Every structure is written in structure tokens, then in C-alpha cells.
Amino acid sequence: MPFAIDGASVKLQGQCSVEEAQDLFQALIAIERPIFDLDAVEYMHTAIAQLLIASRGRLKKAPVDPTLAACLAALETE
């Protein structure tokens, strides 16, 4: 599983494929204002990126990839 949750903190890492989207969606439902740590993400499917943006979460650590970071610019930084 490429994500781990500790309270409101959500850390994604490695290859975040579409297969994880449903599990991540279910986990995010229970978190009012998630805080995302994305600096260890190597790849993120657009379905995952859309979930992060729709969650109205905050960004603790941006992804290293500049294109992915630009796509997630709608997330408020912590």
C-alpha cells in the first residue's frame, strides 16, 4: 500500500496507481482536513491526484516531480 495514515497526516510514497484510489478514497472520507506528505511519491495516477484535490487537504511536503507538484498546486500549503 503506497499510503500510510496517522491521524490527519497522510503520507504517500512510491508508485500510487489507480488500484489504490478506492482504498485512499475510503480512508480520506474519515479525515476532515488531511495533511499530505508527498515527497516520496515516484508516480501518481491522475485519479489519486483528483482525490487529493477534492479532499481540500493541505500540503506538508510537495512531490519532487515538478510537473506533479504543479498539478497539485491547488492544495493549500501547511
Helices 46-54 and 21-29, axial angle in degrees (round to 10): 10
DSSP secondary structure string for all residues of 12-53: EEEEE-GGGHHHHHHHHHT-SS-EEEEEEEEEE-HHHHHHHH
For 4-23, the pLDDT digits (tens) are 999 999 999 999 999 999 99
Average pLDDT over every residue of 21-26: 96
Query: What pLDDT score was predicted for residue 72?
Result: 93
Task: Give the contacts of 31 (CB within 8 A, at least 6 positions apart).
Answer: 5, 8, 10, 55, 57
The predicted model scores a pTM of 0.91
Span 3-77 CATH architecture: 2-Layer Sandwich (3.30)
Q: Please give the biggest Cα pair distance in the chain.
A: 29
Beta partners for residue 59, in sequence order = 36, 77
